[in-house]
Amino acid sequence: MRKKIVAGNWKMNCNREEAFSLATEILGMVTDEVHQPVQVILAPPYLHLSAVAHLVSPNGISVAAQNCASEISGAFTGEVSAPMIKSVGAEYVIIGHSERRHIFNESNEELTKKVNLAIQSKLIPIFCIGEMLPEREAGHQQKVVEQQLRESVFHLSTDLFAGVIIAYEPVWAIGTGKTASPEQAQEMHEFIRSLLKKQYGEAISDGTSLLYGGSCNEKNAHELFALADVDGGLIGGAALKSRSFVNIIKSF
Ligand code: PGA
């Protein structure tokens, strides 16, 4: 059985005290209320990774970075590399988030380097894919996500791909309050799983966790998580409120 996962992407939010309070509240509620086998992942800004990991990982909650550099070390002012992230207790790294692709112009080629370095550093990539609104309106959404997968992750061998998490996040649904309908989400997740099957075979396609992201909240999570090919969510806005985030975790 593939893992059920709920990951909270805090984006560029929370000072030190706020990050500590949010993580402490989530940890308390998850410990008391979550009895299903769900992997909970918190993705705070780099600055708080170490403190949050120290707080939550002894209790089974994992930590992810929101990004990593496309180089391993050296003269890259302002960058943070995959081995550094690993060294402070993170186990996962979000790669290819649409804000990285569109605001910071990260190309599929650059993302390939990040995926390789993450895996080399023993971090599990949460690789994000998704189409923009005009691409969906033109009916090109499947072509777009297929290209994102082919150009950034399908070079991996079966052994290296095993364990990678894919997050489908239609760009038009991120932070907009517009969620993909259950039909749109299931159709795309089923398509992604079919691509994994063609590329890596049935065991990998059945075993890969596919997360939905884009205005997922405590009201719609239950319906989305019940879909055959949706194994959880990558949550933005609703991950900043402990009650909402934990209610989402309890939506399976
Ligand atoms: P959102 O963000 O839940 O606020 O739409 C999701 C994401 O960016 O991962």
Determine the structural domain holding residue 17 and report its residue range. 5-249
Q: How many domains does the chain have?
A: 1
What is the per-residue DSSP string for 183-247?
A: HHHHHHHHHHHHHHHHHH-HHHHHH--EEEESS--TTTHHHHHTSTT--EEEESGGGGSHHHHHH
0.95 exceeded by pTM: yes
Nearest-angstrom CA–CA distance, 80 and 71: 9
| pLDDT recorded at residue 177 | 86
Q: Please tell me which residue in 110, 131, 169, 218 is annotated as part of the active site.
A: 169
Q: What is the mean pLDDT of the chain?
A: 97
Residue of 101, 178, 235 best suited for mutating to test ligand 1, as the one with most atoms within 8 Å of CB: 235
**pLDDT (average), residues 75-81:** 98
Of 124, 121, 125, nearest to 100 by C-alpha is: 125
Output the domain CATH number for residue 196.
3.20.20.70
Residue of 9, 94, 168, 248 best suited for mutating to test ligand 1, as the one with most atoms within 8 Å of CB: 9
End-to-end, the C-alpha distance of the chain in Å comes to 15
Q: Residue 175's pLDDT band (boundaries 50, 70, 90)?
A: confident
